[in-house]
Structure 1
Amino acid sequence: MQKKYKAYFIDLDGTLYRGKEKIPAASRFIGRLRAAGIPFLVLTNNTTQSPETVARNLTANYDMQIEPENVYTAGLATADYLKQLNLGHTVYAIGELGLKQALLDQGFSFAEYKPAYVVVGLDYDVTYHKFEKATLAIRRGAKFIGTNADTNLPNERGLVPGAGSVIALVERATQQRATYVGKPEPIMLKAALAHFGLKKSEALMVGDNYNTDIMAGINTGVDTLLVYTGYSKPEDIKKVAVKPTYEIMSLDQWQL
């Protein structure tokens, strides 16, 4: 039997759109949430873009009314997590502007020699020199944080290296495993719950990928809704030990 939820956490690619393809049911779903006054956050492991850029893209290209405050990136979650750890105010970061701006906005400053944290995310211009600085800083005692474990990203050329592949190099060089923030780890979803001041039982995680979106919910104790518009297929879910709370073919089928 379907419950009523006070907030929704929603994945991006495969759930609200497929690459450059619109998913009309997703646009209608966002419209229904807004009309009902139900709060929601779009949760993305992408740390390269700011919430403003993500919101602008969804609004302009996918027929959705999304504000920056509706977007919670792994970059924002990483900055929030570091502030919560309270180990210091300096960080060495490998990543794009979206990640670095999130860190600056939380009051962190950048340092290379003895930062409190080393944060590694996707960086399209990463160099050996950056890896070297990160490795040495971690070996000097910096807390090692990975934005997310996604090994690959889909684009028009195919599956290209993701943040997890970049982080793996530093893990090998330091012989340390990073603390991961993004989906499917619970850190990001716990922060999203705290954003609304909700209990685990009061929110629903919506996504198309069992391994990231649904496992994030399962790892956090949040109910999950798997929509078959993207990565995971019904035959995949027959094989998993822990099923999603709900499974649907289209977001049009979901009653708020």
Structure 2
Amino acid sequence: MKRYRGYLIDLDGTLFRGTELIPGALSFIEKLAGANIPFLYLTNNSSRPPEQVAEKLRGFGFPAEPDQVYTSALATAQYLKEEMDSPSVFVIGEEGLKRAIREAGICINEEQPEAVVVGIDRQFTYEKMKRACLAIRNGATLIGTNADRALPTEEGLLPGSGSLSIGIAAASGVEPLFIGKPEPIIMKYALEKLGTSPEETLVVGDNLETDILAGIRGGMDTLLVFSGITTHEMANKSRIRATYYLDSLRDWSI
């Protein structure tokens, strides 16, 4: 088995489900930390800033600092700053996304935005959709933090931010540009932060269509764990193939 110098690790469905720790996940992270192998917690969830994500991880017992967390919100803010020259934006999302955009020096402007940015928003309303659609039809670019239609929790699969972006796309007639997994944009930024090359980095996740496809598109090997979205049956039927498959992360040797 190939040894890797860096890891990009999904959270929801891979390390925990909502408030439930997934068996084997803690020992896996402790092995990496004990061997001084660099890793990032890489999540499509844009709702929380890195400090809160790290705090939640530490609550489960994981070693986690804010600098080890990279979110779709951070990647979206980085993209807006580097590729769109910091446009004014209308944001549909929660504090993690809004804070990332503000800290990147980008103006949040609800009146005449140059871009509409959509993340998970548990206070989503028809009014927000209306304002987004009007802005898009007036020329604003539609950007989604990620295309995840479902979010694994202890309650089951709940609507993800991708479902909001897709709804706005249907209403406005404009397809969104997605930043998070499985798009290569977030993987490029995450690798830059981690400091490893694609060839020496392993992507770990529970979702073939986001985590694993993101790794493939980024030129990285992948490990699919059957603890979240993807079942054995789904994996057998899918054209997307991971490099490795495991029922539990406790069985992975670094």
TM-score (norm 2): 0.93
1:59 aligns with 2:20: no
Q: Hey, what's the Cα distance between the residues in 2 that align with 1:108 and 1:35? A: 38
2:132 to 112, 131, 134: 134
Please report how far the alpha carbon of residue 46 of structure 1 lies from its aligned counterpart in structure 2 after TM superposition: 1.0
Q: Hey, what's the Cα distance between the residues in 1 that align with 2:48 and 2:85? A: 26
Residue 109 of structure 1 aligns to a residue in which SS?
Answer: coil
* Contiguous gaps of at least 5 residues in structure 1: none
Change (3 A) 1:161 1:232: closer
Q: Hey, what's the Cα distance between the residues in 2 that align with 1:191 and 1:65? A: 22
Change (3 A) 1:234 1:131: closer
What is the correspondence of 1:1-256 to structure 2 with a 5 Å cutoff?
2-60=1-59, 62-256=60-254
Change (3 A) 1:161 1:252: closer
Letter in 2 for 1:15: T
Letter in 2 for 1:225: L
Q: Retained in 2: the 8 A contact 1:186–1:216?
A: yes
Q: Retained in 1: the 8 A contact 2:208–2:240?
A: no
Please report how far the alpha carbon of residue 128 of structure 1 lies from its aligned counterpart in structure 2 after TM superposition: 2.4
Please report how far the alpha carbon of residue 24 of structure 1 lies from its aligned counterpart in structure 2 after TM superposition: 4.2
Q: Retained in 2: the 8 A contact 1:89–1:107?
A: no
Please report how far the alpha carbon of residue 18 of structure 1 lies from its aligned counterpart in structure 2 after TM superposition: 3.1
Q: Retained in 1: the 8 A contact 2:17–2:153?
A: no
Q: Hey, what's the Cα distance between the residues in 1 that align with 2:240 and 2:128? A: 40
Please report how far the alpha carbon of residue 233 of structure 1 lies from its aligned counterpart in structure 2 after TM superposition: 2.6
**Post-superposition CA distance 1:54-113 (Å, at most 9, x none):** 1111111x1111111111111111111111213443111111111000001111111123
Please report how far the alpha carbon of residue 158 of structure 1 lies from its aligned counterpart in structure 2 after TM superposition: 4.1
Letter in 2 for 1:23: I
Aligned identity (percent) is 48
Letter in 2 for 1:92: F
Q: Retained in 2: the 8 A contact 1:55–1:66?
A: yes
Change (3 A) 1:197 1:239: same
Q: Hey, what's the Cα distance between the residues in 2 that align with 1:255 and 1:11? A: 18
Q: Hey, what's the Cα distance between the residues in 2 that align with 1:131 and 1:179? A: 17
Q: Hey, what's the Cα distance between the residues in 2 that align with 1:231 and 1:180? A: 20
* Contiguous gaps of at least 5 residues in structure 2: none
Q: Hey, what's the Cα distance between the residues in 2 that align with 1:161 and 1:205? A: 24
Letter in 1 for 2:16: Y
Please report how far the alpha carbon of residue 206 of structure 1 lies from its aligned counterpart in structure 2 after TM superposition: 0.3
Please report how far the alpha carbon of residue 191 of structure 1 lies from its aligned counterpart in structure 2 after TM superposition: 1.2
Q: Retained in 2: the 8 A contact 1:92–1:110?
A: yes
Letter in 2 for 1:57: K
Q: Hey, what's the Cα distance between the residues in 2 that align with 1:48 and 1:151? A: 15
Please report how far the alpha carbon of residue 156 of structure 1 lies from its aligned counterpart in structure 2 after TM superposition: 4.9
**Post-superposition CA distance 1:109-130 (Å, at most 9, x none):** 1112322221011212222222
Letter in 1 for 2:242: P
Residue 110 of structure 1 aligns to a residue in which SS?
Answer: coil
Change (3 A) 1:106 1:31: same
Change (3 A) 1:126 1:64: same
4+ residue runs of structure 1 moved beyond 6 angstroms? none
Please report how far the alpha carbon of residue 3 of structure 1 lies from its aligned counterpart in structure 2 after TM superposition: 1.7
TM-score (norm 1): 0.92
